[in-house]
Amino acid sequence: MKKEDLPQDKSALAHMTRELCYVKDKDGKYSTGLSTGWKVKKDALDNAWEDIHERVKEAALAVKNGDKSPVFYFMELRLMDLAVLSGYTGFWKFNIKRHFKPEVFRKLNEKKLAIYAKAFDISVAELTNFKG
């Protein structure tokens, strides 16, 4: 691909990152160029972000309905899974799953709530007063 033909289609990550690509310069020699993306990649990223927003919306609804605790919502919002959250908190995945239950979450002590709040980069008040 010629350097001037390098795609520069804006995607959801265009303001955060660019991709290094090998291109041919005007002399026909290989060099590098930066691309903000191309349509196929943009469409895939947009589709993935739609899925993420839907999961976060469903998590908020589950908290509002009393089916899940705010731990579940913030885990989804911060794009974490059980393994990642376990790594940040030091809690076993089994215990985190238990903390998804509102009745178990309400019984968590301040120390555990503070650990979750730190992992989610929020205050304990934001974690405990979440309304969905």
> What pLDDT is stored for residue 132 in this prediction?
65
Rounded to whole angstroms, the Cα distance separating 100 from 72 reads 6
- Helix 70-77 / helix 39-64 crossing angle, nearest 10 deg: 170
Closest C-alpha to 11, from 51, 41, 54, 48: 41
CATH class of domain segment(s) 42-128: mainly alpha
Question: What's the whole-model pTM score?
Answer: 0.76
Compute and round to an integer the Cα radius of gyration of the chain.
Answer: 21
Q: Over the chain (132 residues), what is each successive 10-residue block's mean pLDDT?
A: 74 72 86 80 86 97 96 97 98 98 97 98 95 70
- Decide if 90 contacts 119 (C-beta within 8 A): no
The domains of the chain are located at: 3-37, 42-128
